[in-house]
Amino acid sequence: MAVRVLVTGAAGQIGYALVPMIARGAMLGPNQPVILHMLDIPPAAEALNGVKMELVDAAFPLLKGVVATTDVVEACSGVNIAIMVGGFPRKEGMERKDVMSKNVSIYKAQATALEQHAAPNCKVLVVANPANTNALILKEFAPSIPAKNITCLTRLDHNRALGQISERLNVHVGDVKNVIIWGNHSSTQYPDVNHATVTTKGGEKSVRELIADDKWLNGEFITTVQQRGAAIIKARKLSSALSAASSACDHIRDWVLGTPKGTWVSMGVYSDGSYDIPPGLIYSFPVTCEKGEWSIVQGLKIDEVSRAKMDATANELAEERSLAYSCLA
């Protein structure tokens, strides 16, 4: 049976990169038919229809239908997976929370439509910024959707961290695993390599053993990952799109189909108090997934430096939550 996948903001630049990936099976596998539901706002209706025309022209074997609409109820009806990209991106010189007032009200409004019209057990991924806080608002205004079904994208940051290690060591990115992004998809996020490993001819080696340069690992590596979104905006004059779309596919694929044995990924999920992160925030943790459910990896040793960075990004999320509520008031 075809899986119905909603993409909001589908006429935008991430949407344009994402929908062909979904239709080709990059998200749900090469044997899973899909029906795409694409939502945008009326000023983008003509462009949205153009994307629909291109999807028809691409003759994707797995694509069993396309709904392109500006009606949020029609868009959400019966969807099994909802990828929430709709909103406004930041421009050069802005922080992601600077788009809060524009975007957070969208997530309050769309929460209700999803709650009332999506398929039971719909899995939600929020991409639009500020991603963690938009996801939290969506969760709070859709109380009947289980908290475990609402997540936000930090897989892009996770993949960026893998990419930096792979470039530094001149190894293939597929051989690097188990970095962690803790916290907010913002410049306070903490990219943690303390548990990361590389598969080498001599077996599995820790990244800290292979890169003896602590100054780089504790400094430039972290800031490069934290600031990568801004660097892309500076270079492209537009925010990341192909890497965001690809990471969104990775996030849903691993959530639905499972993470490989011995590997974890980073997902923004509702905190249950693990690692003393306050419950009630959508915070990025290391997770493994099995049978469509994520679980936070438990028992990792946290040193003092990491603790401080994990708390700082949690504090920012608590501040963002207050700011979001003041924007909605």
Q: Which of 96, 97, 139, 253 binds ligand LMR (CB under 6 A)?
A: 96
When the beta carbons of 178 and 247 are compared against ligand NAD, the nearer one is: 247
Q: State yes or no: cis peptide before 130, omega within 30 of 0.
A: yes
Nearest to 3 by CA among 82, 85, 81: 81
CB of 224 to ligand LMR, least distance (A): 12
Residue 203 known to bind ligand: no
Strands 197-200 and 176-177: antiparallel
CB 226 within 8 A of CB 156: no
Instruction: For residue 72, count other CB atoms closer than 10 A to its CB.
Output: 20
Q: Which of 3, 6, 7, 11 binds ligand NAD (CB under 6 A)?
A: 11
CB of 266 to ligand NAD, least distance (A): 11
Q: In sequence order, what are the residues at sequence separation of 6 or more whose Cβ sits closer than 8 angstroms to the Cβ of residue 146?
A: 121
Per partner kind, with CB cut-offs from 5 to 8 A, the member of ligand LMR, ligand NAD, none near residue 13 is ligand NAD
259 binds ligand NAD (CB under 6 A): no
3 binds ligand NAD (CB under 6 A): no
Query: Any idea of the CA torsion for 14, 20, 24, 25, to the nearest 10 degrees?
Result: 30
Q: Considering only 7-15, 60-68, 187-195, 253-261, which stretch makes contact with ligand NAD by CB under 6 A?
A: 7-15
Per partner kind, with CB cut-offs from 5 to 8 A, the member of ligand NAD, ligand LMR, none near residue 232 is ligand LMR
**Distance (Å, whole) CA 4 – CA 76:** 9
Per partner kind, with CB cut-offs from 5 to 8 A, the member of ligand LMR, ligand NAD, none near residue 217 is none
Q: Six-digit token pair at 254?
A: 């691993």
Which residue, chain included where needed, has tokens 């936070």? Answer: 296
What is the gyration radius of the CA atoms in the chain, in angstroms? 19
Residue 13 known to bind ligand: yes
Q: Which of 156, 162, 181, 277 binds ligand LMR (CB under 6 A)?
A: 156
| Interaction mask 126-145, ligand NAD, x per CB under 6 A | -xxx-x--------------
CB of 15 to ligand NAD, least distance (A): 6
Q: Say whether 31 sits in a helix, a strand or coil.
A: coil
When the beta carbons of 43 and 202 are compared against ligand NAD, the nearer one is: 43
Measured in whole angstroms, the distance separating CA 151 from the mean position of its chain's CA atoms is: 7
Residue 183 known to bind ligand: no
Q: Which pairs from 204-209 meet CB under 8 Å and 24+ separation?
A: 207/165, 207/169, 207/176, 207/179
Active site residue 185: yes
**Distance (Å, whole) CA 239 – CA 224:** 16
**Distance (Å, whole) CA 19 – CA 286:** 27
Which residues make up each annotated binding site for substrate?
Answer: 90, 96, 129, 160
Binding site for ligand NAD (CB under 6 A): 8-9, 11-15, 39-41, 44, 85-90, 99, 106, 127-129, 131, 153, 156, 185, 239-241, 244
Binding site for ligand LMR (CB under 6 A): 89-90, 96, 129, 156, 229-230, 232, 239-240
Residues known to be catalytic: 185
